[in-house]
């Protein structure tokens, strides 16, 4: 016999499936909502339930959006000649926060190797090729993660796009600005050495 | 102009209000749900929305329940002569997990000092007094948290209940079993010394 009511167990089960939420956090959150005014749980419920109702992928860049194309793709103040390629839509906000990029984006939506096939058959890579071939693109900045998969994707994208006569660049990789070398792990340090530039 | 769609911002705002979830976790969870099949978000939404529909406080012990009184209060195999007092309904599961208590519970539902009034006016303390006065209770185990508020509540409860002729006990407080003294903070160590027992 479980000590907890079924509706509570059900919410805990749903919360546990979320990234970064373990059994203890899930329990704590569920009890918190139970002790809070019912409006709190209702409003979280409504927000989660309606999430997919109006949001879809931008037909151009793959960003999550309520309009087609998305705000970033429609913005006339952003240059259409530079495309920043990111693995996930959530990475767009990270790049935007740096306030130093005024071009467009292209979301790969996960690793191009996920499906097990060749990256050239990946629909998001194919869509990128198409955008580049439209002729208005001068540079593609590959901002995939500095992981094995991200680096491999970067290499493939460079190989596929270079014959199209477009400049393909990779974001700088190394020791984070403002951090101390003592805190950099060996891989980061190795990357920083390899990606050194002349002063 | 925000980079994120309104429905996504709304879910992030709701998630951020939950205990233990910061802005980064909220973002990560929201994007995770957006990338997952829509059923995931819908099912979390339904679980949160329906949380308060069937769950209420047990009229006897204050535990969260779908039935009145709760399973624990109705269970004939549990002794009605011993009541374990906890601060929150979620603490019941912690005590149950120890598998060494077969009595009933009484939930204070937060600190008895929260309202700023005197503990003897607290409705949950009043309800406890009433249960004790019903005559079937021989012992009240105070399992409030070993915090300032929890200790103060324990002292008050002992003071109020002792004149009723009931045995009032406090859970053991000290260094956790299986832990090393080196990891115990000074307050825990001091408590452990103070609560020493004769061998």
Instruction: Residue window 36-65, chain B: list those with CB within 8 Å of chain A.
Output: 38, 40-55, 64-65
SS3 A112: coil
Nearest CA in chain A to B36: A52
Burial status of residue B43 (CB atoms within 10 A of its CB: 0-12, 13-18, 19 or more): middle
Q: For residue B132, what pLDDT band results from cuts at 50, 70 and 90?
A: very high
User: Strands (DSSP E) along chain A, which ranges?
Assistant: 56-57, 64-65, 82-86, 104-107, 139-142, 167-170
Higher-pLDDT residue of B151, A191: B151
Mind listing the pLDDT tens digit of every residue in chain A (199 residues)?
467 889 999 999 999 999 999 999 999 999 999 989 999 999 999 999 999 998 999 999 999 999 999 999 999 999 999 999 998 898 888 888 877 889 999 999 766 665 566 777 788 999 999 999 998 899 998 888 878 888 888 888 999 998 999 999 888 777 777 666 666 677 776 776 777 665 5
Chain B residues in contact with A41 by the CB 8 A cut-off are 48-49, 51-52
Q: Do B49 and A52 touch (CB under 8 A)?
A: no
| Section B70-87 average pLDDT | 93
* Cβ contact, residue pair B46, A49, below 8 Å: yes
Q: What is the tens place of the pLDDT at every residue in B81-115?
A: 999 999 889 888 888 887 788 999 999 976 666 55
Specify whether the CB–CB gap between A72 and A104 falls below 8 A: yes
Whether the Cβ atoms of residue A71 and residue B8 lie closer than 8 Å to each other: no
pLDDT at A146 (0 to 100): 77
More confident residue, B176 or B125: B125
Task: Enumerate the residues of chain A whose CB falls inside 8 A of the CB of residue B34.
Answer: 51-52, 55, 64, 89
* pTM (predicted TM-score): 0.70
Residue B7 near residue A53, CB atoms below 8 Å: yes
Q: Which of A107-116, B76-85, B165-174 has the highest mean pLDDT?
A: B76-85
Q: Which residue of B has its CA nearest to A44?
A: B14
In chain A, the residue whose alpha carbon lies closest to the alpha carbon of B15 is A44
Q: Which residue has the higher pLDDT, B191 or A52?
A: A52
Binning pLDDT at 50, 70 and 90, where does residue B181 land?
Answer: low
With an 8 Å Cβ cutoff, are B49 and A66 in contact?
no
Cβ within 8 Å, pair A48-B88: no
The CA distance from B158 to B168, in Å, is: 6
**A107 neighbors A61 (Cβ within 8 angstroms):** yes
User: What is the per-residue pLDDT for A10?
Assistant: 94
Using the predicted structure, report yes or no on whether residue B58 has a pLDDT greater than 80: yes
Confidence at B1, pLDDT banded by 50, 70, 90: very low
Interhelix angle A23-35/B90-97, nearest 10 degrees: 140
Q: What is the pLDDT of residue A112?
A: 67
A66 in reach of chain B (CB within 8 A): yes
For residue A117, the model assigns a pLDDT of 65
Nearest CA in chain A to B109: A35
Averaged pLDDT, B16-41? 94
Which of A30, A40, A45 to mutate: most B Cβ within 10 Å? A45
Cross-chain Cβ contact B48/A51 below 8 Å: no
Residue of chain B whose alpha carbon sits nearest to that of A75? B1
Asked if pLDDT for residue B165 goes beyond 50, the answer is: yes
pLDDT of res. B79: 94
Work out the percent of chain B whose per-residue pLDDT is above 70: 85
């Amino acid at each position: 016999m479980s000590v907890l009511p079924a509706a509570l167990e059900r919410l805990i089960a749903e919360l546990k499936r979320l990234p970064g939420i373990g059994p203890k956090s899930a329990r704590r959150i569920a009890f918190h909502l139970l002790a809070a005014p019912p409006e709190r749980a209702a409003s979280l419920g409504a927000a989660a339930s309606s999430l997919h109702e109006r949001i879809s992928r931008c037909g151009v860049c793959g960003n999550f959006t309520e309009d087609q194309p998305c705000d970033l793709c429609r913005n006339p103040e952003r240059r259409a000649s530079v495309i920043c390629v990111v693995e996930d839509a959530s990475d767009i906000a990270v790049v935007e926060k740096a306030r130093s990029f005024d071009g467009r984006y292209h979301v790969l939506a996960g690793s191009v190797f996920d499906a097990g096939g060749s990256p050239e058959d990946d629909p998001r890579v194919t869509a990128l090729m198409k955008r580049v071939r439209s002729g208005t693109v001068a540079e593609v900045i590959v901002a995939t993660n500095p992981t094995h998969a991200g680096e491999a994707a970067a290499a493939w994208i460079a190989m596929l796009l270079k014959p199209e006569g477009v400049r393909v660049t990779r974001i700088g990789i190394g020791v984070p600005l403002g951090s101390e070398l003592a805190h950099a792990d060996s891989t980061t340090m190795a990357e920083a050495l390899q990606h050194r530039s002349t002063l």
